Amino acid sequence: MKPTERPARRHGPTPSLRDGGYIAGMKRVRLVITGIIQGVGFRPFVWRRATRLGLSGFVENTPAGVVVEIEGPAEAVAAFADGLAGAAPPLANVDGIASHDIAPVDAGAEEPFQIFHSAAAEGPRTLVPADIATCEACLIEMRDPSNRRHGHPFITCTDCGPRYTIIERLPYDRPATTMGLFSMCPVCAAEYADPADRRFHAQPIACPACGPVVWLFTAATATGTPAAADRPAQPPKAAEAIAAARQLLHRGGILAVKNLGGFHLACDATSAAAVARLRDRKHRPTKPFAVMAADLAVARLLAGIDEQAARLLASPARPIVLVPKRPGPGLADAVAPGNDFIGIMLPAAPLQHLLAEGLPPLVMTSGNLAGEPIATGNTEAVERLGRFADGFLLHDRGIHVPCDDSVVRCVVGAPLPIRRSRGHAPVPIRLAGDGPTILAVGGELKAALCLMTGDRAIMGQHIGDVGNLATLEARERAADHLLKLFSVEPAAIAADLHPGYVSAEWAARFATARGIPLVRIQHHEAHAASLLAEHFGVPMPPAGTSPCLVACFDGTGYWPDGSIAGGEFFLADEAGIRRVAHLAPFPLPGGDAAIRHPWRTAVALLHAAGIPWDERLPAVRTASDTELRLLRQQLDRGLACTPTTSMGRLFDGVAALLGGPASITFEAEAALWLESQAATHPAGDATRLDFAVTTQATSPAVVDWRPLIAAVVAAVLAGKSPAGIAAGFHDAVVRLIAAIRSRLVARPGGPVGLTGGVFQNARLVELAATQLRAAGCEPLLHHAVPPNDGGLALGQAVLARQRLTRG
């Protein structure tokens, strides 16, 4: 059957009559179902369930959710409703069913159960599904030479394929997506209209006869302008274009590939020359590249993949998973130089499957310059990526929403998000209550938006670092799209407290233009609130329970006194979130210069602790006499020396003292080196290091790092191994968390939260979680949003709503 237009309402407020009385034993119920239920095969599921029970009625998509009316014998109606949510398709997520009885329709007046076309209307909107990796059924068809979709790079069904990245508006129907430009052939149209077919209302449905096409664009095929990247008048067969792209990779070339959420740059990950060429062209000297393996078996040859990592790799989201590298030949050393971990992903789309099959593992890195948004359009990609790529594997299915790959790592048996994007955005976080609609803009790094509406916080995709016009414009487009998609207007906009943040300036302009308040939220309080909201739905533990201590460790966050914070402890209860302890401040000479050059931070720590600058220390030895002389003058006079309490900077300084990177080319490079060093040291044999804690009656406790730095220096000069000292440093941080908990929280046990970018460190999280559990505490870790600034907007939004509600 084909979906039909919804007729005018055929039932009134009173029951119909048959032979002068009510319809005996008949019942009609109206259900309004909310959640992630559009674009996941929910309507055909309802049709099959109703048809099997012999019920009449209809199902339709509306902006507010899926509406179902069912009529039949009372027992059959009850059987339909019983267990409906639990029996839904695997990709559906039902979070609410509102049900009420309505008047039955006259006997014989209604056809068998029908699927109506989607209804457009104003008002609250239902949720939007994330993009979904190619399902096994589609892969079987794609690999079957007798199937009409054999080798089709855009094969999809109701169980898989693009969703969020192609949706322009709701309700989710083909004309409201970038697939609206492609008219279905008669065979596809028949599948689309058949509720019994796996492709019923699969909006991206297509085949080689009627769908998008793929072609290879190279210097040899170019006519000299980016517009030559437009669809050829006579495009080649997909197999020919993909075969040519594979040959380019086989020859050591660099290929730009248009994938689900944007472009990737790909090359042979086993070829040292190809990887070196990509690094040189992209000006990315050391930051690790992600690698795509054709399947799980190939991935296991490259990395140590346990059961949890295997599940994540093969999940519908298909994220990049950080896993331990296997030693020995395989990947080129330059893929992840000096790093014991590698980011592995499996193909998420048919085009990636067809490209990767039979090839060596491929570097698959975002198609952008560092910090810029990922390229999505063909002409845009040729303009922006032309200096990097030897060829472009293009297609003409539009990408409406840029969406970079998600990144996760496995920690204490659960996923820890590092970047939340494709496959996860815009899946919401469920909140404990309703309130004003808030738009939060996050921070400057790893920018991601949060739209809080009703009892849901909708997290947008990763945008990038807001350090250039392109990323700022991408943020503006993302905000506009979220607001239009969910048909809401914010009551306020939330931003970071830092006076120099570009994101906050943009938020101020947005607030002025719409006549709404701008709510400024302190950076680390937002981190703490993000973690609490993820676990409790509000920025506090449940009433009547223990207060929650939250350790918030990161690199940079503006404190109201103008200092740079980042080694903070908060106590959260019904009264709010308050700072109860922090690292003792130390100078950060030159601000950003010290961040880029950890040796400067290390020497500043020595200066503040009164420790001589011994040339046997790697951080001292790496600098010239002139650099050291100028730095000493700067520190002595306090010139451009921003005080900081940052744990992230302390990690950097300790790494530099041990011989880690004196200068870095990407964020957290020194901290990653320190984690890798610690991981190589045998358990239980680390150098003993300790902080000192001074508690104060009327102000936050102060954590003195000077005894620890003195012990680090003594260990280095005594010739102890950097790995043992690095392991001891991690142990010291864990003991510090436990010590602050025991000193400042009266009740035994209770929750202890770990948030901020430092807690991307798997070793630190695992050690802390183990020790906290041993002490009877419940460690709260991030599982839905990243601990880094990618999760910041969630905390900003819940605190802004709280302020508006409390007045």
| Residue 24 confidence (pLDDT) | 62
- Distances in Å between the Cα of 357 and the Cα atoms of 141, 273, 348, 495, 660 are 15, 22, 13, 45, 39
CB-facing half-sphere around the CA of 613: CA atoms within 13 A: 21
Contact 270, 407 (CB under 8 A): no
Q: What whole-number distance in Å separates Cα of residue 34 and Cα of residue 328?
A: 51
| Residue 39 confidence (pLDDT) | 76
Q: What whole-number distance in Å separates Cα of residue 691 and Cα of residue 580?
A: 16
Q: Which residues of 312-348 are buried (b: 16+ CB within 10 A; e: fewer)?
A: bbebbbbbbbbbebeeeebbbebbbeebebbbbbbbb
**Burial (0-12, 13-18, 19+ Cβ within 10 Å), 282:** buried
Q: Which residues of 34-64 are buried (b: 16+ CB within 10 A; e: fewer)?
A: bbbbbbbbbbbbbbebbeebebbbbbbbbbb
Helices (H), 515-597: 523-536, 592-596
383-423 tens-digit pLDDT:
999 999 999 999 999 999 999 999 999 999 899 999 999 99
Contact 261, 404 (CB under 8 A): yes
Model confidence at 370, in pLDDT bands (50, 70, 90)? confident
| Residue 706 confidence (pLDDT) | 98
Two tokens at 319? 């994220």
Distance of CA 4 to the CA centre of its chain: 38
Q: Does the pLDDT at position 38 exceed 90?
A: no
| Residue 229 confidence (pLDDT) | 67
| Residue 46 confidence (pLDDT) | 92
Nearest in space to 279 (alpha carbons), one of 267, 294, 263: 267
Rg, Å, the chain Cα set: 29
3-30 tens-digit pLDDT:
555 554 443 333 333 333 345 678 999 9
Residues 6+ apart with CB under 8 A from 63: 119, 120, 121, 122, 123, 124, 125, 126, 170, 171, 487
| Residue 2 confidence (pLDDT) | 52
Q: Does the pLDDT at position 476 exceed 80?
A: yes
DSSP string computed for 430-498: E-SS----EEE---SSSB--EEEETTEEEE----B-SSSHHHHHHHHHHHHHHHHHTT---SEEEEES-
771-798 tens-digit pLDDT:
999 999 999 999 999 999 999 999 999 9
Mean pLDDT taken over the chain: 91
Q: Which residues of 658-674 are buried (b: 16+ CB within 10 A; e: fewer)?
A: bbbbbebeebbbbbbbb
| Residue 204 confidence (pLDDT) | 95
Q: Read off the pLDDT of each residue in 71-87 and give the average, rounded to a whole number.
A: 92
Please identify which residue in the block is written with the tokens 């200092």: 563
Q: What whole-number distance in Å separates Cα of residue 649 and Cα of residue 419?
A: 21
Q: Read off the pLDDT of each residue in 324-342 and give the average, rounded to a whole number.
A: 91
Q: Which helix (H) or strand (E) holds 800?
A: helix 792-806
581-607 tens-digit pLDDT:
999 999 999 999 999 999 999 999 999
| Residue 490 confidence (pLDDT) | 98
Residues 6+ apart with CB under 8 A from 196: 44, 48
Q: What whole-number distance in Å separates Cα of residue 796 and Cα of residue 451?
A: 10
Q: Are strands 391-395 and 214-218 parallel, antiparallel or unpaired?
A: antiparallel
665-684 tens-digit pLDDT:
999 999 999 999 999 888 77
512-532 tens-digit pLDDT:
999 999 999 999 999 999 999
Q: Read off the pLDDT of each residue in 701-723 and give the average, rounded to a whole number.
A: 97
Model confidence at 698, in pLDDT bands (50, 70, 90)? confident
Q: Read off the pLDDT of each residue in 760-773 and give the average, rounded to a whole number.
A: 96
Q: Does the pLDDT at position 576 exceed 50?
A: yes
Q: Does the pLDDT at position 756 exceed 70?
A: yes
413-471 tens-digit pLDDT:
899 999 999 999 999 999 998 999 999 999 998 999 999 999 999 999 999 887 777 88
| Residue 22 confidence (pLDDT) | 43
Q: What whole-number distance in Å separates Cα of residue 438 and Cα of residue 459?
A: 12
199-231 tens-digit pLDDT:
988 999 999 999 999 999 986 554 445 555 678
Two tokens at 753? 């939260």
| Residue 4 confidence (pLDDT) | 57
Contact 362, 356 (CB under 8 A): yes
Q: Does the pLDDT at position 718 exceed 80?
A: yes
Distance of CA 312 to the CA centre of its chain: 14
Q: Does the pLDDT at position 123 exceed 60?
A: no
Q: Does the pLDDT at position 96 exceed 90?
A: no
Please identify which residue in the block is written with the tokens 């808030």: 438
Q: Read off the pLDDT of each residue in 498-519 and give the average, rounded to a whole number.
A: 95
